[in-house]
Amino acid sequence: MCGIVGYIGSADVCDVLLSGLRRLEYRGYDSAGIAINSGGELHIVRSVGKVARLAERVAAEWTDALRAGAKAGIAHTRWATHGAPTEENAHPHADQSGRVLLVHNGIIENYGSLRRQLEGRGHTFQSQTDTEVLAHLVGECYRGKLFEAVSQALKHVEGTYGIAVISAAHPGEIVVARNGSPLLVGLCEGAAVIASDASAVIAHTRQVIYLQDGDVAAVRADGVDIRNLDQIPVDRAISQIDWDDTAVEKGGHAHFMRKEIWEQPEALQNTIRGRLDERAGCAILSGLNLSPREMAAVNRIVLVACGTSLYAGMTGRYALEGLAGIPTDAEQAAEFRYRNPIIGPDSMVVAVSQSGETADTLAAVREAHHKGALVAGVCNVVGSTIAREAARGIYLHAGPEIGVASTKAFSSQVLVLVMLALAFGRGRRLSREEGAALCREMAAVPELVRRVLAQDAAIAALAARLAPASSAFFIGRGVLYPAALEGALKLKEISYVHAEGYHAAELKHGPIALLDEQTPVVALLNDVPGRDKMLGNVQECLARHAPVLAVASEGDAEVASLVPDCIFVPRTGVYTTPILAVVALQLLAYHVARLRGCPIDQPRNLAKSVTVE
């Protein structure tokens, strides 16, 4: 949550900062702010709303001369935690003197007591934020060296932060620090860009240093000095970003979400590339770094995740149990970490997270380490905190996902988990032939997804029937139960239509009371175990006059005669069917949101990366 960008160098500082913020807007977009050091003076503009609004204000309020004089600056796009999204609460925040400015992503947990102490020493605050307290603390610790002041101040802080600090007295320096919130430094020729993620620096450089927890760095145009909070230098490797700027552009699509839905065949191809060994009937997952013997010792798997990633985990659970015969749970990460879970050395905890930064999932990873489990990450963002802390894992290689509603990450996550199930299954009960058949099934998925996408126009027509509804149900069974949850999540988050995902068998235990002519039911009727029972459940809905829309397998005449409003998707194996069903539901949600005129890539109140509990 919250995006940070900073720049020091000779390019137009405002341009670099504002274009970086646009890239990071997915992280939060309720208010934004920018500050520059021009001619030894600090200048700030903050505004409620999106970055576009901030850019208008900057254009109106800052003269060309002022902008030209800027050699360094910081900027922020916010997802409010402490204090409403108002101009006063927008970052950057100043210290008591107004000569130090700071932007922050994360939460200062002891800000209440720090604020009271500072107030006792005469400090006055302009905002309700935890961040302003940190700015004051830095100001109070300042004795002529900004780098040292920041290090000193952070020693008093409990919580998470990625911060960038500038000072009127230090025009050639941005001091940054991280603990629990991502931050990287992009290295350019005679310049440096700092940002919450690589999408904001890729236009300038591919060489980045990912800061680690406890790092504090003085970033200057000619280099970076990284130390720990005790000011002892630490060594951090330079990484190369292996994708380019076009990956974070809309590429002719109206929305990132649409682009990312359309990218799925390619993303899935990248997910499986080099990982399916049909001859051995196995999956090659070298990042797992487990010998067959170590894999054989795993007797329990717990998938921990949040949001869409949790639904991918729930889907993967069927594959891990069905193919590998390993008792598997998929658990909401916050629930896992606070439940004191029973985990032993023969347990493997798999954290599923697109961003690799979700606070609850990260905390679950740490808890799993404490319990002595094997811990693996299934992440999309390379070098993300979960990917690093899990120490072993499988990257999705789905490419950057910008739309707040996750799409291509879900399908890649499911495919990764089916590969994981194959890898475990081969060591246990799957024959080479069964493994080879599964490899072929997975290899065919990208093309089958393409065939679902080809039905875009038909799905858009069905969406028109759903769009006027104020409430809808999504029902499924077995491997399609999590798909129903994901379909409902997609619809509610981007179209604001109240939608509930239910196990079809559970409908009659209460929710059926809500069904009437105005309450559509989207039923997942693909030809997988549970389909026949689903037909009965659909009858129950029809008998209550609920309009039913279905997703079913191509050529299913029985479904076609029961439910005229049907999206047919290709047939595939049980464990890959949810991918095809969910792609259809992504398109359905997308078109409903479009028809309702919703801000699809940035739904209200949401953020893509949830780095608070």
Give CA–CA dist 210/162, Å, rounded: 12
Q: What is the smallest separation between the CB atom of 1 and ligand G6P, expressed in angstroms?
A: 9
Size of the site for ligand G6P (CB under 6 A): 16
Interface with ligand G6P, residue 407, by CB under 6 A: no
Tokens 């120490």 correspond to 391
Give CA–CA dist 358/607, Å, rounded: 11
Task: Note if 259 is an active site residue.
Answer: no
Interface with ligand G6P, residue 608, by CB under 6 A: yes
Residue 305, C-beta contacts closer than 8 angstroms, at least 6 positions apart: 312, 313, 330, 332, 333, 351, 352, 353, 358, 361
Interface with ligand G6P, residue 404, by CB under 6 A: yes
Using the rule CB under 6 A, give the single segment among 145-153, 402-410, 440-448, 573-581 that binds ligand G6P.
402-410
Here's the x/- map for ligand G6P, 552-591, by CB under 6 A: it reads as: ----------------------------------------
Give CA–CA dist 507/542, Å, rounded: 13
Q: What is the smallest separation between the CB atom of 294 and ligand G6P, expressed in angstroms?
A: 26
3-state secondary structure of 106: coil
Interface with ligand G6P, residue 606, by CB under 6 A: yes
**Contact yes or no for 370/342 (Cβ under 8 A):** no
Residue from 55, 610, 611, 612 in contact with ligand G6P (CB under 6 A): 610
Rounded to the nearest 10 degrees, how much is the dihedral formed by the CA atoms of 523, 524, 525, 529? -130
C-beta closer to ligand G6P: residue 123 or 408: 408
C-beta closer to ligand G6P: residue 307 or 547: 307
Residue from 152, 347, 361, 572 in contact with ligand G6P (CB under 6 A): 361
Using the rule CB under 6 A, give the single segment among 64-72, 353-361, 387-395, 455-463 that binds ligand G6P.
353-361
Interface with ligand G6P, residue 602, by CB under 6 A: no
Using the rule CB under 6 A, give the single segment among 53-61, 192-200, 265-273, 401-409 that binds ligand G6P.
401-409
Q: What is the smallest separation between the CB atom of 410 and ligand G6P, expressed in angstroms?
A: 8
Q: What is the smallest separation between the CB atom of 607 and ligand G6P, expressed in angstroms?
A: 7
Using the rule CB under 6 A, give the single segment among 78-86, 184-192, 403-411, 547-555 that binds ligand G6P.
403-411
DSSP string, 222-249: TEEEEE-TT--B-----EE--S-GGGGS
C-beta closer to ligand G6P: residue 127 or 358: 358
C-beta closer to ligand G6P: residue 196 or 519: 196
C-beta closer to ligand G6P: residue 534 or 610: 610
> What is the amino acid identity at position 174?
I
C-beta closer to ligand G6P: residue 160 or 205: 160
- Interface with ligand G6P in residues 144-163 (CB under 6 A): none
Q: What is the smallest separation between the CB atom of 600 and ligand G6P, expressed in angstroms?
A: 13
> Catalytic pick from 2, 14, 306, 439?
2
Q: List strands edge to edge, sheet with 100-105.
A: 93-94, 100-105, 161-167, 174-179, 215-220, 223-227
Residue from 160, 353, 495, 537 in contact with ligand G6P (CB under 6 A): 353
Identify the CA nearest to 258 among candidates 594, 563, 606: 594
C-beta closer to ligand G6P: residue 173 or 401: 401
3-state secondary structure of 337: helix
- Interface with ligand G6P in residues 287-346 (CB under 6 A): 306-309
Distances (CA, A) of 412 to 113, 338, 378, 442, 573: 44, 28, 10, 11, 16
Using the rule CB under 6 A, give the single segment among 7-15, 160-168, 398-406, 424-432 that binds ligand G6P.
398-406
> Catalytic pick from 145, 259, 408, 608?
608
Q: What is the smallest separation between the CB atom of 138 and ligand G6P, expressed in angstroms?
A: 30
Instruction: Report the greatest alpha carbon distance in the chain.
Output: 79
Interface with ligand G6P, residue 491, by CB under 6 A: no
Q: Which residue is nearest to ligand G6P (CB)?
A: 307
Identify the CA nearest to 537 among candidates 552, 526, 521: 521
Interface with ligand G6P, residue 526, by CB under 6 A: no
Q: What is the smallest separation between the CB atom of 291 and ligand G6P, expressed in angstroms?
A: 29
Residue 565, C-beta contacts closer than 8 angstroms, at least 6 positions apart: 462, 465, 547, 548, 549, 550
C-beta closer to ligand G6P: residue 219 or 364: 364
Q: How many CA atoms lie within 13 A of 76 on its CB side?
A: 31
Strand partners, 521: 473, 548
Identify the CA nearest to 581 among candidates 594, 572, 590: 572
Interface with ligand G6P, residue 354, by CB under 6 A: yes
> Do β-strands 347-353 and 300-305 pair in parallel, antiparallel, or remain unpaired?
parallel
Identify the CA nearest to 98 among candidates 129, 72, 123, 73: 123
**Contact yes or no for 170/221 (Cβ under 8 A):** no
**Contact yes or no for 259/247 (Cβ under 8 A):** no
> How far, rounded to the nearest angstrom, does the alpha carbon of residue 373 sit from its chain's CA centroid?
24
Q: What is the smallest separation between the CB atom of 394 and ligand G6P, expressed in angstroms?
A: 14
Q: What is the smallest separation between the CB atom of 182 and ligand G6P, expressed in angstroms?
A: 11
C-beta closer to ligand G6P: residue 166 or 489: 489
**Contact yes or no for 390/366 (Cβ under 8 A):** no
Residue 246, C-beta contacts closer than 8 angstroms, at least 6 positions apart: none
Task: Note if 2 is an active site residue.
Answer: yes
For 61-70, b/e burial (b = at least 16 CB within 10 A) is ebeeebbebb
Residue 598, C-beta contacts closer than 8 angstroms, at least 6 positions apart: 494, 495, 496
C-beta closer to ligand G6P: residue 295 or 405: 405
**Contact yes or no for 525/495 (Cβ under 8 A):** no
Q: What is the smallest separation between the CB atom of 334 and ligand G6P, expressed in angstroms?
A: 11
Interface with ligand G6P, residue 406, by CB under 6 A: yes
Interface with ligand G6P, residue 358, by CB under 6 A: yes
3-state secondary structure of 341: coil
Interface with ligand G6P, residue 211, by CB under 6 A: no
C-beta closer to ligand G6P: residue 224 or 257: 257
Q: What is the smallest separation between the CB atom of 356 and ligand G6P, expressed in angstroms?
A: 7
Residues assigned a catalytic role: 2, 608
Residues that bind ligand G6P (CB under 6 A): 306-309, 353-355, 358, 361, 404-406, 606, 608-610
